Amino acid sequence: MKKKAIKYFLIATLLTSSVLVFANLTESGTQENTTEYKVGEAPFDKMMEVLTHKRCVNCHPSGNVPRQGEDSHLHNFDVVRGEDGHGLAGYTCNTCHTDENNDYSGVPGAPHWALAPEIMAWEGKTRVEIAQQMMDPKRNGGRSAHDIMEHLTEHELVLWAWEPGVDAEGNPREKPPVPKDEYIQAVKEWIEAGAVIPEE
Amino acid sequence: MAKKDKPKSKSRRKFLIRGGLGTLGVLALGTYVFRNPMRRMTLEMIETMVPPYSGTGTEANLWFEITTDNNLILHQPKVEMGQGTFTGLAQIVSDELDMNISQITVTAAETATGIVDGMSTGGSLSVAQLWTPLREMAATMREFIKIEGAKKMGVDASSLSTADGILSGGGKTMSYAEAIADLKEFNLPKTPELRPVKNYKNVGKPIPRIDLTPKVMGDPIFGMDVEMPDMLHATVIRPEHVGASLKSADTSNAEKMPGVVKIMKKDGWVGIIANSFAEALAAKNKVTVEWDIPKKWSDEDLKEYLKIGQGNKQITQKKGSALDEEGEGVINMEFRSPIGAHAQIEPNGAVAYVKDGKATIKLSTQVIGVTQKQVAEALGMDNEDVNVIGTYLGGGFGRRLNTAHAVKAAQMSIEVGKPVKYFFTRKEEFQNDLFRPPTHHIMRGKMNGDKLEALEHHYASGDVAMNSVIFPAAMGTILGSDVGASRGGSIMYGKIANRRSVQWHRTLPFATSWWRSLGLLANTFAIESFIDEMAINAGKNPVDFRLSMLGEEENQKRIRKVIEEAAAKGNYTDKATGNRAMGFAASIDANAPCAHVVEVSVDGNKVRVEKVTCVLDSGLIVNPDQVRAQCEGSIIMGISAALHEEMYLKDGRLFPINYGSYDMALMKHSPKEIDVHLVQGAENPLPVGEPPLGPIAAAIGNALKRITGKRLTELPMKV
Amino acid sequence: MKISFTINGEAKSVEVSDGNSPLLWAIRDGLDLKGTKFGCGKAACGACTIHVDGNAVRSCSFPAKLAEGKEITTIEGLSKDGKTHPVQQAWIDEVVPQCGYCQPGFIMATAAMLDKIPNPTDEDIDKNIINVCRCGTYYRMRKAIHRAAKMNGNTDVQ
């Protein structure tokens, strides 16, 4: 019972990136981009610059092992996702990660620290594939576009990317290349404009 | 040295009483006669003992302390770092002194007792070194107690029997404690004949470790656990770069941090002393340091610097003639091993208190005497004014043969006038280790039919024994080679007519030193991998190939025995089955031959050691369970070195800086089966803590060759 | 800052100047419970493993302030009511420790695992027990873990 709740929560929170669903709309082509942007400046581009950054992808791995570090190596000690994305019985994510970064140890932390479910793996995928997956209710935990927007712009674990703390050597972790405000703005614009996934 | 061998006369032997401490007689053996082949080594150790600096002992070495409740505290010069020495010594004492194991506590003698090891706890020598002297001392003690008890009981000493610390005879009993109570001075009797080993009740039995309960319950027994009243906590800023020195440090911001008591700059380092360790660490982060970095070393630089043909050349084994590397039919093969870290889990550190011209230092050290000397020298004190108290060690592995940090702890204590606890962070451990040096090897062989007619091992290594505090550079000059790097470097097969090993030694830009088994691991990897390759070339079973090269001398027979036994117990076959195969290798180290059969499987790039059959000729076995534990531990540490561990240089710094990124064997890498067979090919106990590390890497490589068809020549091996 | 919690069944409080500083030091130096070890300070080796509300936590990376009001168990409090905890008993029976330094962390991690996986397979042990032991006592630890699981089973029957 508890497990279910956690799972639901997880799905709800982690998947956030999955912008939803206006897959139909896109397919039917009724949405149109009316604003013109410089290359790489479109809301979609800005958003995806963040979502494909290691701060996000490290916890959306393609296998069962999280990645870590600026070089996105497999998480040390081969820790695994476990049944619910929170690790195993002997150790959970929370054995080492708490609700906040720890400057003494360099262990990062944020509320709901966990791995995104396997169906939400981003590692090795293109921007378009990630976006499609994120907006597809079958692959995003049945979320609406609005849910996704909330997750992407409000969830503490997502926003941790802009406060990633220091690493084990005491050096600041790299932040995503787009400032937080601009990113939030971009996500909102993109979703409000119908979440159009460009062809690439 | 030879002149000092002479045993001192019996008349000078004395027992002395140590006052206070609520115990009643502390008995000391002033001098002591050694009568066995260990004599020279042991005498050398005893001769370098430091005289007691206070109390009533003047020439006394206070080993046996019988407490009022009739228990025994054995004060002896070795430390316990997991190798089980304390348990072995308790067994030895119990069988000659006739006390129950449960009555015996073993402790590392503090230097103030006068019992100071002239060398170290290392080389797997503790039980082997003390085997005869300790039995003789315990037997002498027993006789002494009998004589004194007999006087008090009014019976004849020869009518008394002894058991569990009780004298019995003539219908009376008396405890050892009572027998020697109130004695002021003692004259030791002649050392009696030692009992035949076969009559011993505890020696030879798998007695559970005597330190088991404190270690399982989490008792505060380690250097890190030491507390002193009013103690402060310290951290030191050390260079991250190889060879770097401190140029300047701005500590103004750090000084304002909470809990900071004092920041001191001295001899190129900065010490931060605070009320708590966390506060010291937080303040350390606020110090801005500028370093002078003469050269930023890379792995490529190191590979070029340390290789055969560079540095000091010394032939360490020579029989028959040398091979021409380009001669007809000569096969050459190169091997390498990386920089290895000790990675013992308890960081290095010390608690020091210097007050009124006396220093007390508590720490995990393998060299209590050296620590004392170093601190005394640095502080301008006499040795006897520095009391070093050795705790249990959270791992040794050779790392604690250097305790320069004790000096810093003492200097910081002087600065604040209080006890100071100072220890390394993990990053400092990894970047300031005294590493296992990287090595480079060329094996050269020539077959004649299906026999090896010539075999050569050329090896390059950084310092192991040379330039270490317990083995001054001058000794290296006398011996000509680094005796640590040469461990396992010779070719042990006596029937190969032409044999040679040649050492190329060079001191590296970062400190390297003793790492469990010294040169043995890498040297055996090269030699036994090459032997395997030669067997394959000759189309021979590698076990038969090895056996055919062994002669008839005593040590050859002992090597033969472990090889035959390992092949039989491990059901060795040189045929792979799918992704699974066996590997065989053998070595002899410190006169203890060892052979392993490993069963290895490969799944993708994952290598698993499924089973290890280990046969070790450990000489006389004091505690079979602990000898086994040493074999298991050596095997797992060897697997770790063979398949996982590697330090590297990048931009002048050594990496990794933590566990995890420094890949080590974990639970999942441990074989599910480790089958240890012990044979006794020598009358006395032999070193057991290192010899089983010898063959492991080669045995794994030999198995991998059969699975993958590829000869792996670099540690750690990756498929 | 004063932090109050229950540790090994007793209510305690400890003073720290920075609430973010590791709980490890509050336990070791503030409360003088030295069984919980410092190994790396980076949540990698596991020597500092304790239980917080029944879950394994690496105390070198756990801010002291988060311990407020929590139920903490350290190696010193694992055995209760004069009865040796099955994991500690199994460790004694199999003569596991060598140097002993990492052992409290392993014992605490094992106890936490057995709470959730009472009868672990070898694979469960491999995956769940990821602390570091330099002496290489893993081989005996595995045996001790299986033994502890059996002992736990017996207790349940009684």
Structural domain total, chain C: 2
d(CA A18, CA B602): 39
C119 at A interface, C-beta within 8 A: no
**Overall average pLDDT of the C39-61 stretch:** 97
Nearest residue of chain A to residue C60 (CA atoms): A105
Eight-state DSSP code of residue C120: -
Question: Under an 8 A CB cutoff, do A77 and B427 touch?
Answer: no
> What local confidence, expressed as pLDDT, does residue B125 receive?
77
Strand order of the sheet with strand B161-163? B161-163, B166-169, B172-175
- List chains touching C (3+ CB pairs under 8 A): A, B
Tell me the β-bridge partners of B163: B166
CA distance A173 to chain B (A): 16
Which among B225, B345, B634 has CB closest to C34? B225
Question: Under an 8 A CB cutoff, do A76 and B660 touch?
Answer: yes
3-state DSSP helix/strand/coil % of chain A, to nearest 5: 40, 5, 55
Q: Is B27 exposed, middle or buried (0-12, 13-18, 19+ CB in 10 A)?
A: buried
Question: Under an 8 A CB cutoff, do C44 and A106 touch?
Answer: no
Q: For residue range B225-240, what is the model confidence (pLDDT) as tens digits?
A: 999 999 999 999 999 9
**Overall average pLDDT of the A25-35 stretch:** 44
Tell me the β-bridge partners of C73: C51
> What local confidence, expressed as pLDDT, does residue A40 receive?
66
**A–B interface: beta-carbon pairs under 8 A:** 15
d(CA A59, CA A116): 6
Q: Could you tell me the pLDDT band of residue B181, with boundaries at 50, 70 and 90?
A: confident
Q: For residue range B71-80, what is the model confidence (pLDDT) as tens digits?
A: 999 998 899 9
**Overall average pLDDT of the A134-145 stretch:** 93
B439-448 and B451-461: which strand pairing?
antiparallel
C57: CATH: 3.10.20.30
User: Could you tell me if C26 and C57 lie in one domain?
Assistant: yes
Q: Could you tell me the pLDDT band of residue A94, with boundaries at 50, 70 and 90?
A: very high
C80 is a domain residue: no
Instruction: For the domain covering B2-211, report its CATH number.
Output: 3.30.365.10
Closest by Cα among B18, B222, B44 to B113: B18
Eight-state DSSP code of residue C29: I
Residue A21 clears pLDDT 60, i.e. is over it: no
Q: For residue range B531-581, what is the model confidence (pLDDT) as tens digits?
A: 999 999 999 999 999 999 999 999 999 999 999 999 999 999 999 999 999
Question: Under an 8 A CB cutoff, do C100 and B211 touch?
Answer: yes
- List chains touching A (3+ CB pairs under 8 A): B, C
Residue B43 clears pLDDT 50, i.e. is over it: no
Q: Helix or strand or coil: residue A29?
A: coil
> What local confidence, expressed as pLDDT, does residue B483 receive?
83
For an interface test with C, give the residue of A75, A80, A105 to mutate (most C CBs within 10 A). A105
* Least reliable range by pLDDT among B13-17, B482-486, B588-592, C106-110: B13-17
Eight-state DSSP code of residue C28: I
Tell me whether the omega of the peptide bond preceding residue B656 falls within 30 degrees of 0, making it cis. Answer: yes
CA distance A102 to chain C (A): 6
Angle, CA of A187, A189 and A191, to the nearest 5°: 70
> What local confidence, expressed as pLDDT, does residue B477 receive?
52
B600 neighbors B701 (Cβ within 8 angstroms): no
Angle, CA of C70, C76 and C81, to the nearest 5°: 90
Average pLDDT, chain B: 89
> What local confidence, expressed as pLDDT, does residue B120 receive?
76
User: Could you tell me if C68 and C121 lie in one domain?
Assistant: no
Q: Pick from C75, C94, C117: which residue ends a domain?
A: C75
Which has the higher per-residue pLDDT, B694 or B185? B694
> What local confidence, expressed as pLDDT, does residue A129 receive?
95
Q: Could you tell me the pLDDT band of residue B109, with boundaries at 50, 70 and 90?
A: confident
Angle, CA of C104, C80 and B218, to the nearest 5°: 20
Contacts of A78 in chain B (CB under 8 A): 668
d(CA C3, CA A56): 34
Residue B63 clears pLDDT 90, i.e. is over it: no
Instruction: For the domain covering B223-293+348-423, report its CATH number.
Output: 3.30.365.10
> What local confidence, expressed as pLDDT, does residue B61 receive?
37
Q: Pick from C19, C51, C75: which residue ends a domain?
A: C75
C107 at A interface, C-beta within 8 A: no
Eight-state DSSP code of residue C140: H
B580-589 and B592-603: which strand pairing?
antiparallel
Which among C20, C42, C128 has CB closest to A91? C128
Which among B285, B658, B668 has CB closest to A168? B658
> What local confidence, expressed as pLDDT, does residue B267 receive?
85
CA distance B427 to chain A (A): 8
Task: For residue B242, give both structure tokens.
Answer: 């190889």
Tell me the β-bridge partners of B232: B420
- Number of other residues whose CB lies within 10 A of the CB of residue A153: 19
Question: Under an 8 A CB cutoff, do A90 and C62 touch?
Answer: no
Task: For residue B371, give both structure tokens.
Answer: 């620590």
Question: Under an 8 A CB cutoff, do C97 and B81 touch?
Answer: no
CA distance B661 to chain A (A): 7
**Overall average pLDDT of the B714-718 stretch:** 98
Signed CA dihedral, B196, B198, B199, B202: sign only: positive
The H-assigned helical ranges of chain A are 2-14, 23-28, 43-51, 54-57, 93-96, 127-135, 145-154, 156-159, 180-192
User: Could you tell me if C50 and C20 lie in one domain?
Assistant: yes
State what percent of residues in chain B have pLDDT above 90. 78
Residue B27 clears pLDDT 50, i.e. is over it: no
Q: For residue range A174-197, what is the model confidence (pLDDT) as tens digits?
A: 999 999 999 999 999 999 999 999
The H-assigned helical ranges of B208-329 are 212-217, 252-255, 277-284, 299-305
CA distance B666 to chain A (A): 8
Which among A77, A104, A169 has CB closest to B660? A77
> What local confidence, expressed as pLDDT, does residue B301 receive?
96
**Overall average pLDDT of the B155-160 stretch:** 95
C25 is a domain residue: yes
Angle, CA of C146, C152 and C155, to the nearest 5°: 150
Which among C18, C41, C92 has CB closest to B212? C92
> What local confidence, expressed as pLDDT, does residue A34 receive?
53
Which among B217, B279, B629 has CB closest to C98? B629
Residue C50 clears pLDDT 50, i.e. is over it: yes
Average pLDDT, chain C: 95
Task: For residue B565, give both structure tokens.
Answer: 């036994």
d(CA B446, CA B329): 6
User: Could you tell me if C63 and C121 lie in one domain?
Assistant: no
Which among A76, A92, A104 has CB closest to C20? A104
Nearest residue of chain A to residue B659 (CA atoms): A76
d(CA C2, CA C8): 19
Question: Under an 8 A CB cutoff, do C137 and B637 touch?
Answer: no
Contacts of B625 in chain C (CB under 8 A): 95
Average pLDDT, chain A: 84
Which among B218, B632, B664 has CB closest to C35? B218
φ, ψ of residue B569 to 5 degrees: the values are -65, -35
B358-363 and B386-390: which strand pairing?
parallel
Nearest residue of chain B to residue C35 (CA atoms): B218
Positions of CATH 3.30.365.10 in chain B: 2-211, 223-293+348-423, 299-340+434-708
CA distance A152 to chain C (A): 27
Beta carbons within 8 Å of C124's beta carbon, 6+ residues apart: A89, C113, C117
> What local confidence, expressed as pLDDT, does residue B479 receive?
63
Look-up: residue for tokens 């604003």? Answer: A35
> What local confidence, expressed as pLDDT, does residue A35 receive?
62
CA distance C52 to chain B (A): 18
Q: Could you tell me the pLDDT band of residue B473, with boundaries at 50, 70 and 90?
A: low
Residue B455 clears pLDDT 80, i.e. is over it: yes
For chain B, counts of helices (H) and of strands (E): 17, 27
Closest by Cα among A31, A42, A108 to A70: A108
Nearest residue of chain A to residue B277 (CA atoms): A104
Q: Which helix H or strand E contains A178, and what residues bound it?
A: none
Task: For residue C9, give both structure tokens.
Answer: 């069944």
Angle, CA of B475, B481 and B483, to the nearest 5°: 75
> What local confidence, expressed as pLDDT, does residue B17 receive?
28
Length of chain C in terms of residues written: 158
Q: Give me the residues of B, 240-279, that contact A with CB < 8 A.
A: 278
Tell me the β-bridge partners of B353: B360
**Overall average pLDDT of the C120-147 stretch:** 98
Q: Could you tell me the pLDDT band of residue B3, with boundaries at 50, 70 and 90?
A: very low
* Least reliable range by pLDDT among B105-119, B464-478, C48-62: B464-478
Question: Under an 8 A CB cutoff, do B629 and C137 touch?
Answer: yes
> What local confidence, expressed as pLDDT, does residue B118 receive?
67
Domain B299-340+434-708 = CATH 3.30.365.10: yes
> What local confidence, expressed as pLDDT, does residue B472 receive?
56
Nearest residue of chain A to residue B669 (CA atoms): A77
CA distance A166 to chain B (A): 12
Question: Under an 8 A CB cutoff, do C138 and B209 touch?
Answer: no
Which among B278, B282, B657 has CB closest to A169? B657
C94: CATH: 1.10.150.120
Residue C93 clears pLDDT 80, i.e. is over it: yes
> What local confidence, expressed as pLDDT, does residue A31 receive?
45
Task: For residue B53, give both structure tokens.
Answer: 């600096």
> What local confidence, expressed as pLDDT, does residue B212 receive?
97
Report the half-sphere exposure of B654 (CA within 13 A, side-chain side): 30
* Least reliable range by pLDDT among B38-42, B203-207, C91-95: B38-42
Contacts of A105 in chain C (CB under 8 A): 22, 41-43, 60-61
User: Could you tell me if C134 and C90 lie in one domain?
Assistant: yes
Domain that holds residue C13: 2-75
d(CA B50, CA B61): 10
For an interface test with A, give the residue of B240, B659, B661 to mutate (most A CBs within 10 A). B661
Which has the higher per-residue pLDDT, B133 or B574? B574
Look-up: residue for tokens 């995104």? Answer: A116
Question: Under an 8 A CB cutoff, do B278 and A169 touch?
Answer: no
- Report how far apart, in Å, the C-alpha atoms of B667 and of each of B188, B347, B516, B593, B640 are: 52, 21, 20, 28, 11
Residue B329 clears pLDDT 90, i.e. is over it: yes
Which among A76, A78, A170 has CB closest to B661? A76
**Overall average pLDDT of the C2-30 stretch:** 97
d(CA A44, CA C84): 61
Q: Pick from C55, C75, C95: which residue ends a domain?
A: C75
B172-175 and B166-169: which strand pairing?
antiparallel
Residue B94 clears pLDDT 50, i.e. is over it: yes
- The alpha-carbon radius of gyration of chain A (Å, integer) is 17
Contacts of C74 in chain B (CB under 8 A): 218
φ, ψ of residue B294 to 5 degrees: the values are -65, -35
